[in-house]
Amino acid sequence: MTTSTQRVIEGVAGPGSIGRVAIGDILRRTAQRHPDRAAIVEGDRCTTYAMLDDAANRYANFLLAQGLTTGDKVGCICANSTDFMPVIFGIHKAGLVWVPANAMLAAEDIDYILHHAGVGHVVVDDVLAAQPAMAAMLAALGVPMTVISVSGSGIAAGALPGTGFADAIASQPATEPVVEIDERELALIMYTSGTTSRPKGVMHCHLSVVMAAMSNAIEWRIGREDGVTAVLPMFHCAQHSVMLTGVLAGAKMLLMRGFDPAALIEGMAAEKINIMVGLPLMYRAVLDHPSRKQRDINLRMCVYAMAPMPEPLMTRLVNELCPDFRLSSGQTEMYPSTVMSRPDRALARFGNYWGESNVVNDTAIMDDDGNILPRGTIGEIVHRGPNVMLGYYKQPEATTAARLHGWHHTGDLGLIDHHGELLFLDRKKDMIKSGGENVPSIKIEEVLLGHPDVQNAVVVGLPHARWGEAVTAFLVPKPDTDPTEDSILEHCRKHLGGFEMPKLVIFLEEMPMTVTGKIRKTELRTKFADHFETATT
């Protein structure tokens, strides 16, 4: 009998490679289970799991042959393409760190990311590498490169600096390299688009990413009989985790480089795709496209992300396209998805009802002192789970702040209602304190967007002697309209209480935006910070 703490266990040999959790293992196992099934369909090109695993192994061997070693960073500037897949898995199989840049960013922003991460190799697709600004940036960077040939790019292999992907893998062995991989070591750094500052590098380990894929697979009941879209960009956490989920399950992926509703409808029908993952605007485009009713599409599940679905659209989608629609939410820091709306609630709950936690996550509402709040109370949405980031690269203070009190802080405000469903209210920094009350900027924006002449609306709180923060509306009118402040305020009075009412309406020609389409609220806040300085009413 012993009641003392024994931390040293007799007989333990340590996990080693025999028991590791590693991203590359997902692909190898599926390729072993069904080598000849389709992994990726892109236009006329079909890649089986055996072919994908083979190419990933060869590319891993290529990278190691370049002298890269465990922990080295490999930057990727790639939109979706078939060859991007073995690149991603090859980097992981080699024990290297995947650093995907958002391919829509300007060359100077990608340059910042590549320098910040300290990449030792860059993979770029020919379409992007041929852009003059990108080419100049890459030349100045001076890091060895692999160039992917995108189907139909029209760019000849060898026309650009760097090693062509086909050449890189041609002479490499197809056996997986033997590399020690620690599941808690760095596997990827994904940079978030900052609306207020430079992008932050979110670090994840192998275990985190694998857990996200397994969690999705459990929630989705996905298997080899399924086919899933890859229309969103794989450099983003959403489609990356969806892709891994598909590979884990052995499903077929319909890969597209850009969104084209006609081509998507055609592909989904031809390849018998039954799971679609997209943005609300994509679903609207598919729903309203004339070819939809002419082609035989059988979707069993649709996942949407990034934005809520308007009630009329959701109702039509459920009735006309697919009975099972789910909003999947998360953030790069908590490898997605973290919460998901329940499909049986799709026609009962609209807007920002985010639903319930996935199987690997705890979700709670926390006040500023670290107390977990009871149901129905507004506070910050916090999470725990193995899919949490390791931290922000080279930003230990930001990392510490993000995991204060032992939970990951999302920066989102919300509440858990009496059904146990999470309701998102606003970004914490965008919540306005008006007359002592919390006013979600999103709520006011929704009301303003209901005005017939309003194209775009942003609401911020500006410092105000009486209100604390004064609700301030910035509006872009619809073309050929000329709404007055009075007409806007009259519309608002029908829907809002006094403390929620805009105290000022400012008309703009266009909103200040980031390249990824987020509105720079901070810019508006800073520019108009002094507006109410002398006001007292």
In the region spanning residues 446 to 505, those forming contacts with a second copy, defined by CB under 8 A, are none
Q: Does 272 bind a second copy (CB under 8 A)?
A: no
Overall residue count recorded for the chain in this entry: 537
The full DSSP string for 121-181 is EEEEEHHHHTSHHHHHHHHHH---EEEEPPTT--PPTTSSSSEEHHHHHHTS-SSPP----
Nearest to 217 by CA among 390, 41, 92, 30: 30
Q: Which of 51, 55, 119, 169 binds a second copy (CB under 8 A)?
A: 119
- 441 counts as binding a second copy under rule CB under 8 A: no
Residue pair 273/227 in contact by the 8 Å Cβ criterion: yes
Q: What phi and psi, each to the nearest 5 degrees, are found at residue 83?
A: -75, -15
522 makes contact with a second copy (CB under 8 A): no
Q: Is 181 in the site for a second copy (CB under 8 A)?
A: no
Q: How far is the C-alpha of 195 from the C-alpha of 199, rounded, in Å?
A: 8
* Closest distance of CB 193 from a second copy, Å: 19
Does position 393 interact with a second copy (CB under 8 A)? The reply is yes
Q: How far apart, in Å, do the first and last CA atoms of the chain sit?
A: 76
Q: Cβ 353 to a second copy, closest distance in Å?
A: 15
- Residues of this chain, 405-434, that bind a second copy according to CB under 8 A: 406-408, 420
The least distance separating a second copy from the CB of residue 78, rounded to whole angstroms, comes to: 19
Q: Which is nearer to a second copy, 225 or 490 (CB)?
A: 225
Nearer to a second copy, 124 or 431 (CB): 124
Binding residue for a second copy (CB under 8 A) from 81, 195, 337, 399?
399
Is residue 395 involved in binding a second copy (CB under 8 A)? yes
Interface with a second copy in residues 70-99 (CB under 8 A):
70-73
Nearest approach, Cβ of residue 463 and a second copy (Å):
33
Phi-psi group of 406: left, alpha or beta (phi > 0 → left; psi -120 to 50 → alpha; rest → beta): left
Considering only residues 222-241, where is the footprint of a second copy by CB under 8 A? 223
Report the residue number, 118 or 411, with the smaller CB distance to a second copy: 118
Q: Please, which residue, 47 or 215, has the CB nearer to a second copy? A: 215
- Of 121-160, binders to a second copy (CB under 8 A) are 141-143
- CB of residue 268 vs a second copy: minimum separation in angstroms? 22
User: Count residues contacting a second copy (CB under 8 A)?
Assistant: 84
> Among 178, 162, 163, which Cα is nearest to 70's?
178
Asked if 534 is part of the footprint of a second copy (rule: CB under 8 A), the reply reads: no
For the chain, helix, strand, coil in percent to 5 are: 35, 25, 40
The CA distance from 45 to 328, in Å, is 30
Record the tokens describing residue 385, joined without a space. Answer: 């789970």
| Pairing outcome for strands 163-164 and 145-148 | parallel
Amino acid, res. 143 = V
- The only residue of 123, 150, 186, 415 in contact with a second copy, by rule CB under 8 A: 186
Q: Which of 55, 60, 68, 447 binds a second copy (CB under 8 A)?
A: 68
Q: Is 517 in the site for a second copy (CB under 8 A)?
A: no
Q: Does 211 bind a second copy (CB under 8 A)?
A: yes
How many angstroms separate the CA atoms of 516 and 235, rounded?
Answer: 13
- Site membership for a second copy, residue 29 (CB under 8 A): yes
Long-range contact pairs involving 496-499 (C-beta distance under 8 Å, separation at least 24) = 496/444, 496/447, 498/435, 499/434, 499/435, 499/436, 499/437, 499/439, 499/467, 499/471
Residues 351-380 that bind a second copy (CB under 8 A): 356-357, 359-363
